[in-house]
Structure 1
């Protein structure tokens, strides 16, 4: 691991340097996983419950488990955070409130939250219960930190795409602005290729929303790449959207240096052996790096803030920590985005599932085994798999019976008939997927009768001859337990009680979750006291301290208000007057075309639309577009759609926007809400408005003209939203190519160049029209934006035309029709059909059949209820 060299700190480092030891946060989907995390040194765990969490396909705890679980965790000095990290619909708010009340009453340490409305609801329920802003909130800049802080967040989990350099810059800017919030960062585990909270792939392709905990992992499937209509030969690289797993092990010194407060390990769906292995490895790496950091900075504050534990296993279960990481679960390991963007390293594209440790290439095949030069250790009993470059097909593999060395090569033998040798070829790659000995050692780390990992306590002893002996034990967070003898101390005739004797007796904490860190001996005079009674004092104090730690946290819980606590019916009517209704007649409706090219724009300018939305890949072209629109007859207005994500340091994009002369902007992220606040704004779908509490907050706090409802809402859920908030707050997208993956990973750069990022890729996105082909034969268009972020759009447009009349009945008057690659003629024809639809001259069924569209609104069609 790289060492930190002591040096004089710059003003930047003075602002961003660490002042407290980071927390190590591990995943737990089951009791065994929780124990694995605790016994291997986690400072906190995060877990889901039976509802409202983003891992609904895995095992989860229940609300009924919370009292026992929290008592166990707190007795071991470990915090527990509940994941409430999904979007919540308006008709679920009452259930969500009940669920949150149970969570808060159980003494959970915090909730990890995605939904803005849920943040508001928590604050109505409890003024002091901690909220952690989930990575699903897509925070990538100081504006996002400020956004989350205003919602009451005490911790912000940054997007996985944030580099350590960007973390340092965000901390520096928030410290200077007085808006600093502790930052949590993923350091290990699976990487989503799309921005969390911004992936609509599972929804678009299968009616399962990632924002609702039902991700179908479409990123792990094989795809083919097409450029300018022709397939690109990529050899065995077919998993174009499947990143390697993240490993921040080597970056630990820089993680600490940049002031990260919590190191998060991904893996709530993983086995307890994985949790044990990764927690153990990162516990040691963090402790080692922290000790280096404290020594390098000579920072008294940092030293005094450092609290830690100790394990009965002083070193990792395997001498090579990376071996543990690769064997318990690995698709290959990389540093992700921690050290910036490297599109050549992020996705190797050769497989999308667990592979483990590469052993080498098969040189020859014999009757019951293969010959190869081993690149890693292998022994009898280990499990392996042969990779023939088609991981989506059935693969051969099994247990090893023996390994015989033949010079530099080794002959690996299998049980007779366990391998179909017709499916194994010379040149295949052999991977080690299982190490039973390692798994056994990992299980032994948490299947224990006595605690494996203990927390420090300090002991203070008071007394003098003729008075009672008093023992105080203080834990790592300041709780104090006191025990007092029933008999007074005696004057020592021979050897008096000394530090050595007291330390020996008070250190006998074997079956407890503690170890003695220090002793403060305040005895006066030469004291004598029986050892057996000292031991009893220790046991009494430990029991008291343990009971104190097991007590549930007491958060403030406000009494339930009327139904208006979760319904906006009262505020909706008030807010309705605060925001102007449609300027059109109450029965009129309007379509706003959403365009993505100058050709489409020119076509739309020939039509009688007063307002147009425009999204271009290069924001430098907006000024020209604005001039074109303003020069057209009819007093037309143009609203610009900026890049969907903003990362700290991309101020040049904002500058281009503010100087282009647009009539208004679609606010698509936290930066737009802040930097473009002097301009007319409308909230876009990427703000994830799924309920009325979110809508109310965004409309009132940021004075938005309107909002586009989240694309996660089906017709029924949209109806619930419209029943609880003014209809004139919203515009509904009736027609679009669903933006599926929105990602930092640049497919253009990774597979059409040899470059790492925009600086050396040669800009293939400017020269090629690219699509990816899925297993059904659909060619999904790929677009790059100003930040070199890629969006994969659904090949087929979808429509909510069937529900248009119902939406009109609800009072919706503003509708969006989005285009992607359509020709000017298609733009004109499509808009004409939707005009006739809203005028009652064309049925929704006829429209979607004639245009061959996907008949779907949001996740699934749903059923719009009558108002």
Structure 2
């Protein structure tokens, strides 16, 4: 099959949604099974129905991609994943969409002929990340929604990998894969497909204890839906191959309606080019009627962030266009038919023969012996009428040649049986080209035996700081082994900070930005000048930074933060094998799951207001203005919880922090039993005068085994005990 210049990829939250999308013109669908999909509450397909869906798309010359785009715990990866994938793999599954690096490695090893698409949950934001995934074996990268046309073109020009990007539907406020808000406030993790969408709720924006947003503009985290129908030529010319429509939680009519309009305009561009491209107003109106959230925006293709992208006002309940939805049901009820050619041969005293041809596939089926007519011979028109009855099959005759002798007879029942068997044989032959044999013998991985350190060993204590004024306080404590310096506050030569740390006998580790988007070119202080020879290490937070640091030949420690997820042994093992000194333990696993995974080469965060959202949008710009100033804002929710918001202007992203600090002072016994490689305190918004007090509590508790009474009134133990589903 010749590869199209553009693929139109549709959501399928059900079998009916899959049919509707294919019948409306989608080239491929992405769909979830019963496990490991990022839409756990969709009407996901059971095993038999999913296999029927695979056959359905293949008969129609389309593709089906299975969402395996959540983070997997050890027991899931080792005990469930192989059997789950195996049946679909052998049946002809076209690709899997993957977030978890452990899952990525597992599929590559056990199902080497199965294409892997790197999920948007991996937050791939540029050339470096795409290069890494290409080198690791990904066929396609689903880019972060926040990328511009120029950034997409850079990836297309520099990396030989398929690019898939969202073109229509809902937008997350946060970079996909970087959101823990639902997880921390309600225990429903987006990384496990269970996001409760707290971004769609109202918030007051607080500054100096005063609300600064209007009571009519409280939906500050809720983006409008994206619609790119007017800029499709730009996106195609930027090098995007797969045009992805969001909406697995929506009705089949939604998929059909959006697909048919995007199909129309993709085909228009491919036929007539940019100069012949024109969008009819009636089609724009139809997209609005199908679904929109307070109107549309064009996504991030031409803007980095924008107030007009956010709903701000409470979404108005719309009256559904019932006539339109009724019209769209035809895509569910009426199946598209594939054209076939036929040749029927009926010769006396010879078995009846029906030859069918579909594209390059030919099948021949024989039936009962044709007899001499005793009374009335068979009528050619009636024979043709019977053979052309393809009924509920996916085929329709484009042409039928009938070669027959005079004065012959064959019962109608025999003729019908010949047609039925011939069509079944054709379908089997078409689908046989997709079937695979899995010759590998999978051996369950029981997990690594972690050589644990003695619980009596003095733990290594590192401190992460996001403000320069914290550094002096931290350096006073001889018990601290290393200091992570957040790159956003660095405004002096790096040697200045390194010298201060080294004079206090502490390692100096530079923490790179949450998001790496052309920052090596655009910031006033290039990375190369920061990565000086006497720096002790770097803490990285995304795939781009890893690839970039590797390309520089950096020889000191490379540490990955918790948002480069290592939920399972396989993911952890991958990074350790690829020159990572150690990783940061996942913050969504509980103590028992951490014990199962092992922390021998992992750092555990035991204090801090952890980031729960990283966004390209800016609260300060949305409500006030963009003035490149670090402004202290809070989001107050309906429960009067306040979430600290920091605008990092140097690298142009926002971080929203959890309303309560993670405090694990009362869990020393369980944490020591885990024997982590090191412990981390994370300081973000604390008053400088409180830094020493908090540090002393933790040092007394973990270094000197003293009993500590702290005065935290509002705090959380995160997922250390509760975990996530």
TM tier, shorter chain? 0.7 to 0.9
Query: 1:210 and 1:116, CA in 2 relative to 1: closer, same or farther beyond 3 A?
Result: same
State how far apart, in whole Å, the 1-side matches of 2:338 and 2:490 are.
54
Equivalent residue in structure 2 for 1:606, among 476, 481, 484: 476
State how far apart, in whole Å, the 2-side matches of 1:585 and 1:653 are.
44
Q: Deviations over 1:777-820 (max 9, x none)?
A: 12211112232110111122012333332222232241000011
Residue pairs, 1:16-415, within 5 angstroms: 20-93=4-77, 94-174=79-159, 180-234=160-214, 236-293=216-273, 320-331=282-293, 332-351=295-314, 353=315, 355=316, 385=317
Give secondary structure in 1 for the equivalent of 2:80. helix
Residues 855 and 861 in structure 1, CA contact (< 8 A), matched pair in contact too: no
State how far apart, in whole Å, the 1-side matches of 2:260 and 2:707 are.
62
Residues 130 and 141 in structure 2, CA contact (< 8 A), matched pair in contact too: yes
Give secondary structure in 1 for the equivalent of 2:67. strand
- 1:729 alignment counterpart: 601
- 1:716 alignment counterpart: 592
Residues 661 and 716 in structure 2, CA contact (< 8 A), matched pair in contact too: no
Query: 1:221 and 1:340, CA in 2 relative to 1: closer, same or farther beyond 3 A?
Result: same
Q: Bigger shift: 829-838 or 29-38?
A: 29-38
Q: Deviations over 1:241-296 (max 9, x none)?
A: 10001112112112222222211111111111211211222121221122123999
State how far apart, in whole Å, the 1-side matches of 2:64 and 2:131 are.
25
Give secondary structure in 1 for the equivalent of 2:64. strand
Quote how far apart the aligned CAs of 1:482 are: 5.7
- 1:771 alignment counterpart: 634
Equivalent residue in structure 1 for 2:574, among 697, 722, 726: 697
State how far apart, in whole Å, the 1-side matches of 2:344 and 2:157 are.
46
- 1:557 alignment counterpart: 438
Give secondary structure in 2 for the equivalent of 1:24. strand
- 2:500 alignment counterpart: 629
- 1:567 alignment counterpart: 447
State how far apart, in whole Å, the 2-side matches of 1:505 and 1:262 are.
42
Q: Bigger shift: 834-843 or 775-784?
A: 834-843
Give secondary structure in 2 for the equivalent of 1:250. helix
Query: 1:827 and 1:116, CA in 2 relative to 1: closer, same or farther beyond 3 A?
Result: same
Quote how far apart the aligned CAs of 1:214 are: 1.1
Quote how far apart the aligned CAs of 1:202 are: 0.9
State how far apart, in whole Å, the 1-side matches of 2:288 and 2:698 are.
54
Give secondary structure in 2 for the equivalent of 1:651. helix
- 2:372 alignment counterpart: none
User: Is the counterpart of residue 688 in structure 1 residue 565 in structure 2?
Assistant: yes
State how far apart, in whole Å, the 2-side matches of 1:161 and 1:859 are.
32
- 2:527 alignment counterpart: 657
User: Is the counterpart of residue 643 in structure 1 residue 513 in structure 2?
Assistant: yes
State how far apart, in whole Å, the 1-side matches of 2:595 and 2:156 are.
41
Residues 715 and 857 in structure 1, CA contact (< 8 A), matched pair in contact too: no
RMSD: 3.8
Residues 461 and 481 in structure 2, CA contact (< 8 A), matched pair in contact too: no
Equivalent residue in structure 2 for 1:444, among 330, 334, 338: 330
Give secondary structure in 1 for the equivalent of 2:243. strand
Residues 6 and 243 in structure 2, CA contact (< 8 A), matched pair in contact too: yes
Give secondary structure in 1 for the equivalent of 2:508. strand
State how far apart, in whole Å, the 2-side matches of 1:481 and 1:144 are.
46
Q: Deviations over 1:13-63 (max 9, x none)?
A: xxxxx9833221111122221221122112221111222111112321112
Residues 124 and 544 in structure 2, CA contact (< 8 A), matched pair in contact too: no
Residues 134 and 157 in structure 1, CA contact (< 8 A), matched pair in contact too: yes
Give secondary structure in 1 for the equivalent of 2:539. strand
Which stretches in structure 1 are left out of the alignment for 5+ residues? 1-17, 175-179, 298-315, 356-384, 386-431, 488-503, 754-760
User: Is the counterpart of residue 596 in structure 1 residue 463 in structure 2?
Assistant: no
- 1:762 alignment counterpart: 627
Quote how far apart the aligned CAs of 1:739 are: 0.6
State how far apart, in whole Å, the 1-side matches of 2:662 and 2:486 are.
19
- 1:830 alignment counterpart: 694
- 2:379 alignment counterpart: none
Give secondary structure in 1 for the equivalent of 2:605. strand
TM-score by length of 2: 0.86
Quote how far apart the aligned CAs of 1:222 are: 0.4
Quote how far apart the aligned CAs of 1:145 are: 1.4
Residues 342 and 397 in structure 2, CA contact (< 8 A), matched pair in contact too: no
- 1:499 alignment counterpart: none
Quote how far apart the aligned CAs of 1:238 are: 0.7
Quote how far apart the aligned CAs of 1:687 are: 0.6
Residues 106 and 552 in structure 1, CA contact (< 8 A), matched pair in contact too: no
Query: 1:58 and 1:801, CA in 2 relative to 1: closer, same or farther beyond 3 A?
Result: farther
Which stretches in structure 2 are left out of the alignment for 5+ residues? 346-351, 370-384
Residues 601 and 677 in structure 2, CA contact (< 8 A), matched pair in contact too: no
State how far apart, in whole Å, the 2-side matches of 1:482 and 1:294 are.
46
Quote how far apart the aligned CAs of 1:626 are: 2.0
State how far apart, in whole Å, the 2-side matches of 1:226 and 1:854 are.
20
State how far apart, in whole Å, the 1-side matches of 2:442 and 2:428 are.
34
State how far apart, in whole Å, the 1-side matches of 2:575 and 2:115 are.
21
Query: 1:859 and 1:139, CA in 2 relative to 1: closer, same or farther beyond 3 A?
Result: farther
Residues 619 and 656 in structure 1, CA contact (< 8 A), matched pair in contact too: no
Residues 28 and 268 in structure 1, CA contact (< 8 A), matched pair in contact too: yes
State how far apart, in whole Å, the 1-side matches of 2:251 and 2:394 are.
24
State how far apart, in whole Å, the 2-side matches of 1:667 and 1:649 are.
14
Equivalent residue in structure 2 for 1:780, among 628, 643, 654: 643
Quote how far apart the aligned CAs of 1:538 are: 9.4
Q: Deviations over 1:165-204 (max 9, x none)?
A: 2111111011xxxxx1111111111111101111010111
Q: Runs of 4+ in structure 1 displaced over 6 angstroms?
A: 294-297, 460-463, 468-472, 483-487, 504-511, 527-530, 535-541
Q: Deviations over 1:96-147 (max 9, x none)?
A: 2332223323332221111000111112322212211111111111221122
Residue pairs, 1:480-495, within 5 angstroms: 480-481=362-363
Residues 772 and 781 in structure 1, CA contact (< 8 A), matched pair in contact too: yes
Residues 473 and 542 in structure 1, CA contact (< 8 A), matched pair in contact too: no
Quote how far apart the aligned CAs of 1:862 are: 5.0
Residues 599 and 823 in structure 1, CA contact (< 8 A), matched pair in contact too: no
TM-score by length of 1: 0.72
Quote how far apart the aligned CAs of 1:560 are: 3.7
Q: Deviations over 1:718-757 (max 9, x none)?
A: 12111xxxx331000001112111111111222212xxxx
- 1:300 alignment counterpart: none
State how far apart, in whole Å, the 2-side matches of 1:249 and 1:138 are.
24
User: Is the counterpart of residue 587 in structure 1 residue 473 in structure 2?
Assistant: no
- 1:672 alignment counterpart: 545
State how far apart, in whole Å, the 2-side matches of 1:739 and 1:505 are.
67
Equivalent residue in structure 1 for 2:616, among 744, 747, 755: 744
Quote how far apart the aligned CAs of 1:628 are: 5.3
- 1:404 alignment counterpart: none
Give secondary structure in 1 for the equivalent of 2:188. coil
Quote how far apart the aligned CAs of 1:539 are: 8.5
Query: 1:127 and 1:162, CA in 2 relative to 1: closer, same or farther beyond 3 A?
Result: same
Query: 1:655 and 1:539, CA in 2 relative to 1: closer, same or farther beyond 3 A?
Result: farther
Residues 15 and 49 in structure 2, CA contact (< 8 A), matched pair in contact too: no
